[in-house]
Amino acid sequence: MSKLKSYNLANTSHHATTQNLDSIYSKTGNLYRSISIIGKRSNQIANELREELQTKLNEFSSYTDNLEEISENREQVELSRYYEKLPHPTLFATSEFLDDNTYFREPDEE
């Protein structure tokens, strides 16, 4: 749950807000490169959260195939709802990028 806690402690709004393009541009000197970095980081965050949720949901999985034994687990439903209420990974990535918490490097040009 360490990844989840670090994302929850970030100053991330649950709603998309208008961002100042000059502040995004100033980080790399190229607006499209900045947006590409934000997009790639967003994909990383989404994959991390998906893997974390999957491992937690696997704890609830049953190894029997009997349809009569399938029941709703309250803890599983609450866990799924919690992940659904999290802000979108793009909002996390944008917040990290603007707060200078994203590491990126430029490939060496030959």
Is pLDDT at 18 greater than 80 in this prediction? yes
- Residue 51 is assigned to a structural domain of this protein: yes
- Residue 15 is assigned to a structural domain of this protein: no
Measured distance CA(90)–CA(71) in Å, rounded: 34
The residue range of the domain holding 25 is 2-6+20-60+70-98
Q: Which residues contact 35 (CB under 8 A, 6 or more apart)?
A: 24
Distances (CA, A) of 34 to 5, 94, 98: 26, 10, 10
Measured distance CA(57)–CA(62) in Å, rounded: 10
- Residue 65 is assigned to a structural domain of this protein: no
Count of domains forming the chain: 1
The average pLDDT across 20-34 equals: 91
Instruction: Tell which residue, 55, 109, 104, 47, has the closest CA to residue 79.
Output: 55
- Residue 13 is assigned to a structural domain of this protein: no
Query: Can you give the pTM of this predicted structure?
Result: 0.76
pLDDT tens profile 74-93: 788 888 888 888 888 999 89
